[in-house]
């Protein structure tokens, strides 16, 4: 007796692979295990999710699932631990497994990998004194946590990558969950606005949505130097000659101890081959003993920031580029800080995520023990536009050139183009790259032949 007929199309390919692996019958239970991994939805919502998953599994088993089932199939398979099946079929799916541990994710991006790297013809742009194939990238975050991530992102079209922040000794990540969607944040908040975000661990935003926002609370995990230095050397080796890998570093301590630790870590990165070091002066997720559970970004303290940048600049060779990464700063703070940084750095990057209060729909902290976390995606787009506009104006007024690496709310070609049009030299994306594995390809396809300021003339 023959089984159900093979299905056609993308859903059919996913269905056939799930059948081949014997996963269809267990899909609803695996999905619910993922949904309830960190907290339990209200019973009516859980019942609705369970019914939807059971119906999908029945259609898959009968060979009756169609293209209209792809959005639900993507969500169910992702939470059920089957993202690899989706990726193998070319389905857009989040590239980081939010249910898996930080360590588990280091070696295995789960999103699809393009068969051929997208390129903008023969055009190149200059970023931090280097030529890059197209000035889109991924900032310092878990999406650049190691060699496999750098290889994955480089192959999918990103040319300006920043290796995840490393430290002078090993640090463990915050307890899970670490990264969740914020589907209620579908438009940008005013620049620098404090936000109270509702985000449940089971929330979902369809991959590729330009309205995606996320919140994260990883802390600043780091491998031990002997591990990350070896991995960094391997990561640099996977790049093409028109791709650039910066390395983000962070120190700890107080006063001169903080400066010394930043400098020590920067020298280690340089020793491992880093062509450019980026100073993480903007993290919103460093643990503290305060009631909020986290420290404010270092860049809010202008004197400490300048001391760190001066100390690191003295410690590095002239051949190594230096970038200062800032969070959103108001007008007076930024205007006072940038003229002091400009003689010391080759670039200024911003923004980092916006430190926000994050709770579940039942009012409990989304990230237990940490009521503050980092908000990114479309919710911070106006903050990124605002800071980039002011950075470029300060650069022009100050007479000292530094490159601007802009990020925040980049989820589609239009949002990339908006930051680049303000004068940014490169544009990076974290939430957008997380939720849409084809973001770089889409930007290159839309803008590769027309984006201005290329070293080669546009066709």
Is 371 domain-assigned?
Answer: yes
The set of residues, in sequence order, having a beta carbon less than 8 Å from that of 325 and lying 6+ positions away, is 139, 140, 248, 278, 279, 280, 281, 282, 348, 349, 350, 352, 405
In the prediction, which pLDDT does 2 show? 44
Q: Based on the domain organization, do 75 and 149 belong to the same domain? A: no
The verdict on residue 458 lying in a domain is no
What residues does 97 pair with on adjacent strands? none
Residue where a domain stops, chosen among 35, 68, 88: 88
Range of the domain at 255: 120-447
Task: Supply the pLDDT for residue 8.
Answer: 64
Q: Residues for the chain: how many in total?
A: 459
User: pLDDT (tens digit, 9 = 90+) per residue, 147-187?
Assistant: 999 999 999 999 999 999 999 999 999 999 999 999 999 99
Q: 250 and 350, same structural domain? A: yes
Q: In the structure, how many helices (H) and strands (E) does the chain have?
A: 15, 15
Same domain, 239 and 357: yes
How far apart CA 28 and CA 76 sit, in angstroms, is 8
- The answer to whether the CB of 291 falls within 8 A of the CB of 241 is no
In this structure, are 262 and 385 located in the same domain? yes
Residue 300 and residue 187 share a domain: yes
Q: Which of 1-10, 265-274, 309-318 has the lowest mean pLDDT?
A: 1-10
Q: Where are the beta strands (DSSP E) in 262-371?
A: 276-280, 321-325, 347-350, 354-359
- Of the candidates 181, 182, 196, 210, which has an alpha carbon nearest to the alpha carbon of residue 98? 181
Does residue 105 lie in a domain region? Answer: no
> What is the rounded average pLDDT of the residues 59-86?
97
Asked whether residue 102 is domain-assigned, the answer is: no
pLDDT in tens, 221-232: 999 999 999 999
Question: The tokens 């000659």 sit on which residue?
Answer: 241
Q: What is the pLDDT of residue 292?
A: 45
The confidence band for 194, taking pLDDT boundaries of 50, 70 and 90, is confident
Give yes or no: residues 136 and 188 share one domain: yes
Assess whether 37 and 134 both reside in one domain: no
Query: Distance between CA atoms of 12 and 21, rounded to whole angstroms?
Result: 14
Q: Is the pLDDT of residue 294 over 80?
A: no
- The answer to whether position 112 is within a domain reads no
Q: For 337-387, what is each residue's pLDDT tens digit?
A: 999 999 999 999 999 999 999 999 999 999 999 999 999 999 999 999 999
| Residue 161 buriedness (CB in 10 A; 0-12 / 13-18 / 19+) | buried
Dist. CA 183–CA 175, nearest whole Å: 22
Contacts of 398-401 with CB under 8 Å at 24 or more apart are 398/338, 398/339, 398/342, 400/342, 400/343
In a domain, 385, yes or no: yes
Based on the fold, state whether residues 124 and 62 are members of the same structural domain: no
Residue-wise pLDDT for 408-448, tens only, equals 999 999 999 999 999 999 999 999 999 999 999 999 999 99
Q: What is the total count of domains within the chain?
A: 2
Question: Quick one: which of 134, 73, 190 has its CA closest to 425?
Answer: 134
Same domain as 233, residue 143: yes
Residue 332 near residue 389 (C-beta atoms within 8 A): no
- Is residue 389 included in any domain, yes or no? yes
Task: Please classify residue 256 by burial: count the beta carbons closer than 10 Å to its beta carbon, then call 0-12 exposed, 13-18 middle and 19+ buried.
Answer: exposed
Indicate the pairing of strand 160-166 with strand 321-325: unpaired
**CA 117/CA 119 separation, integer angstroms:** 6
**77 and 136 within one domain:** no
Residue 65 resides in a domain: yes
Q: Are residues 299 and 354 in the same domain?
A: yes
Answer yes or no: is pLDDT of 287 > 70: no
In sign, the C-alpha dihedral spanning 254, 257, 261, 267 is positive
Q: Mark whether 254 and 171 lie in a shared domain.
A: yes
The phi and psi torsions of 50 (rounded to 5 degrees) equal -65, -45
Look up tokens 């420290």; give the residue: 295
CATH number at residue 365: 3.20.20.70
pLDDT tier at 399 (50, 70, 90 boundaries)? confident
């Amino acid at each position: 007796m023959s089984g159900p007929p093979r299905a056609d199309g993308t859903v059919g390919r996913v269905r056939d692979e799930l059948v081949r692996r014997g996963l269809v019958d267990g899909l609803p239970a695996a999905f619910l295990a993922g949904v309830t991994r960190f907290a339990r939805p209200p019973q009516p919502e859980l019942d609705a999710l369970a019914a939807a998953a059971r119906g999908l599994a029945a259609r898959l088993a009968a060979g009756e699932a169609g293209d209209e089932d792809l959005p639900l199939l993507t969500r169910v398979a992702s939470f059920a631990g089957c993202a690899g099946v989706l990726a193998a079929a070319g389905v857009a799916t989040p590239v980081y497994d939010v249910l898996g541990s930080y360590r588990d994710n280091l070696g295995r991006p789960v999103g699809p990998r393009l068969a051929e790297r997208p390129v903008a013809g023969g055009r190149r742009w200059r970023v931090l004194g280097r030529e890059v194939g197209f000035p889109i990238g991924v900032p310092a975050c878990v999406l650049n946590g190691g060699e496999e991530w750098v290889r994955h992102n480089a192959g999918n079209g990103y040319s300006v990558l920043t290796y995840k922040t490393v430290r002078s000794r090993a640090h463990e990540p915050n307890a899970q969950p670490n990264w969740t969607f914020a589907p209620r944040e579908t438009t940008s908040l005013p620049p620098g606005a404090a936000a109270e975000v509702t985000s449940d661990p089971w929330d979902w935003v369809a991959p590729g949505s330009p309205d995606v926002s996320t919140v994260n609370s990883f802390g600043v995990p780091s491998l031990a130097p002997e591990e990350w230095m070896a991995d960094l050397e391997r990561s640099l080796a996977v790049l093409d000659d028109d791709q650039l890998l910066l390395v983000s570093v962070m120190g700890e301590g107080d006063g001169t101890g903080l400066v010394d630790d930043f400098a020590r870590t920067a020298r280690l990165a340089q020793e491992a081959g880093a062509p450019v070091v980026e100073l993480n002066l903007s993290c919103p997720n460093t643990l503290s003993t305060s009631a909020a559970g986290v420290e404010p970004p270092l860049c809010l303290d202008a004197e400490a920031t300048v001391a760190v940048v001066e100390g690191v600049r003295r410690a590095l060779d002239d051949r190594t580029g230096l970038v200062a990464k800032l969070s959103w700063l108001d007008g007076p703070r930024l205007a006072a800080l940038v003229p002091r940084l400009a003689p010391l750095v080759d670039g200024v990057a911003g923004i980092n995520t916006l430190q926000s209060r994050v709770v579940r729909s039942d009012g409990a902290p989304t990230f237990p023990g940490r009521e503050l976390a980092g908000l990114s995606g479309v919710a911070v787009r106006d903050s990124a536009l605002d800071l980039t506009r002011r950075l470029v104006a300060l650069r022009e007024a100050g007479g000292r050139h530094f490159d601007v690496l802009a990020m925040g709310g980049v989820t589609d070609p239009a949002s990339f183009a908006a930051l680049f049009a303000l004068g940014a030299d490169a544009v990076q994306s974290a939430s957008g790259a997380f939720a849409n594995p084809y973001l770089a390809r889409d930007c290159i396809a839309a803008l590769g032949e027309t984006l201005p300021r290329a070293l080669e003339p546009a066709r």
